[in-house]
């Protein structure tokens, strides 16, 4: 903390380094000082909470999340998403705190945080604060973290029983950043859908909830939701896909994840 504060915003926090170091090697980022937080004790624990959720330490490596039985049982959608995160060597080092702080709109963990209504716990010289995931990401690669703050934990509230999930990501190759991704949680009680959450990845400046798709699903079902997802997306044109194509994917992937989530909600 002290080192970060003393550097007046010039220092970069180094956790897994899987996003930061490439930029350093390309010399597109120049940081005179690194604060390597890998040694901080106690930040890599996955704790089960009484509400059925998890508190995940910021230094928890992706591989630990991928293989965690607690994650698999309590948040199967996160378990699925972890399989798509880069490759084993990256997962061995990359951390959830790092991924959230890096805030790539096409990355899995930021989108999971938004989908799962995560509370992101940040610590600074003035103490800790909890930031709802929906407020945490403000622009591509930008969060509300102050220069002297770091993420220390991620709190995932427990999900109701009978919540089905769906996760679909489209990338040019296995492990690449998503061209587009959609995830959904659907809770059924009795025969009725009581809760729907749909989150989008790679389809906006930040990961977002697809609010019109959620509303349309509640009113008219899967098809309407899929079409509405196009409005929730505000994708960019880049080398890997045009905005039109990404909007198309928003619809197609939303259809797939809602279908899967409904099926799983019944089981």
Partner 1 sequence: MTAKISITVTVNGTAQAADVEPRLLLADFLRENLDLTGTHVGCEHGICGACTVLMNGDSVRSCLTFAVQADGAEVETVESLGSIDELGPLQQAFREKHALQCGFCTPGMLMTATDMLRKYPLETDDDIRDGLSGNICRCTGYQNIVAAVRSAADKRDGK
Partner 2 sequence: MSPPDDIDLTRPQFIGAKVMRREDPRLLAGEGNYVADIKRHGMLHIAFRRSDHAHALITNVDVSAAQAMEGVVAVYTGADITRLANPYQATSRMKNYQATFIPPLAVDKVRYVGEAVVAVVAISRYVAEDALALVELEYESLAVLVDPEEALKPDAPKLHDDLESNILAAREFARGEVAEAFADAAATAGGRFHFTRTTPVTIEARASVAEYDKGTRTLTLHCTTQIPGIVRDKLSEIFDLPGPRIRVIAPDVGGGFGGKTSLYSEEIVACAIARDLGKPVKWVSDRMEDLMTTGNAFDEIVDAEIAVAEDGRILGVKADVIGDVGAYSIYPWTATIEPVQVVSFLPGPYRIANYAARVRAVATNKTLTGAYRGVGRPISVFVMDRLLDMAARKIGMDPAEIRRRNLVNDDEFPYKAASGLVWDKSAFQACLREAADGIGYDELRREQAAARADGRWVGIGVACYAELTGVGSRIAVAPGMPINTGTETCNVAIDSTGAVTASFGLASQGQGMETTLAQVVAEELGVKVEDVDIVLGDTASVSHGTGTYASRGAVFGGGAGILAAKAVHEKIVRVAGHLLEAAVEDIETGNGDVRVKGTDKSMTIRDLARALYSDMGRVPKDMRDEIDNLEATKVYDPFFGTTTSASHMCLIEVDPETYKVEIKRYIVVEDCGRVINPLIADGQAHGGVAQGIGVALMEEVIHDKTGQVLTASLVDYVVPSAVEIPSIDVVHVEAELPGTVGGFRGLGEGGTIGAPACIANAISDALSPLGIEIMEIPATPERLFRLVEAAKAD
The one segment of 32-40, 112-120, 137-145, 237-245 that binds partner 2 by CB under 8 A: 237-245
Could you list the beta-strand ranges (E) of the chain.
11-14, 33-36, 46-48, 54-57, 119-124, 127-132, 137-139, 142-143, 150-156, 163-170, 180-189, 192-201, 208-209
Q: How far is the CB of 122 from partner 2 (least distance, A)?
A: 29
Partner whose footprint covers residue 97, from partner 2, partner 1, none (CB < 5 to 8 Å by kind): none
Rule CB under 8 A: which of 15-74 touch partner 2? 26-27
What does 239 bind: partner 1, partner 2, none (CB cut-off 5 to 8 Å by kind)? Answer: partner 2
Tell me how far apart the alpha carbons of residues 179 and 130 are, in angstroms, rounded to a whole number: 30
Give the N- to C-terminal CA distance of the chain in Å, as an integer: 47
The structure tokens 């279908």 sit at: 259
Determine if 244 is a binding residue for partner 2 (CB under 8 A): yes
Q: Give 23 or 236: the residue with its C-beta nearer to partner 1.
A: 23
* β-strand partners of 198: 184
Q: How far is the CB of 37 from partner 1 (least distance, A)?
A: 11
Picked from partner 1, partner 2, none, the partner binding residue 90 (CB below 5 to 8 A depending on kind) is: partner 1
- Other residues' Cβ atoms within 10 Å of the Cβ of residue 37: 21
Structure tokens belonging to residue 99: 């991924």
Minimum distance of partner 1 from residue 36's CB (angstroms): 6
Using CB under 8 A, list all residues that contact partner 2. Answer: 26-27, 170, 172-177, 179, 239-242, 244-245, 248-249, 252, 255-256
């Amino acid at each position: 903390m002290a080192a970060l504060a003393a550097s007046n915003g010039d220092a970069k926090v180094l956790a897994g380094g899987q996003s930061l170091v490439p930029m350093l090697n390309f010399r597109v980022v120049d940081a005179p000082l690194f604060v390597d937080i890998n040694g901080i004790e106690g930040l890599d624990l996955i704790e089960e909470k009484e509400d059925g959720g998890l508190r995940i330490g910021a230094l928890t490596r992706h591989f630990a999340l991928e293989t965690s039985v607690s994650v698999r049982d309590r948040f199967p959608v996160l378990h699925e998403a972890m399989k798509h995160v880069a490759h084993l060597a990256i997962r061995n080092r990359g951390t959830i705190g790092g991924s959230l702080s890096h805030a790539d709109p096409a990355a899995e963990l930021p989108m999971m945080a938004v989908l799962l209504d995560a509370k992101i716990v940040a610590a600074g010289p003035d103490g800790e604060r909890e930031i709802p995931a929906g407020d945490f990401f403000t622009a591509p690669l930008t969060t509300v973290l102050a220069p002297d703050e770091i993420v220390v934990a991620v709190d995932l509230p427990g999900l109701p029983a009978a919540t089905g999930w769906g996760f679909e990501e489209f990338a040019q190759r296995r492990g690449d950043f998503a061209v587009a991704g959609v995830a959904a949680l659907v809770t059924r009680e009795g025969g009725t859908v009581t809760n729907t959450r749909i989150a989008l990845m790679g389809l906006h400046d930040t990961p977002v909830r697809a609010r019109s798709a959620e509303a349309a699903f509640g009113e008219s079902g899967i098809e309407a939701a899929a079409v509405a997802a196009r409005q929730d997306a505000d994708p960019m044109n880049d080398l890997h896909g045009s905005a039109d194509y990404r909007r198309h994917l928003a619809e197609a992937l939303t259809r797939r994840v809602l279908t899967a989530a409904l099926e799983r909600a019944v089981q």
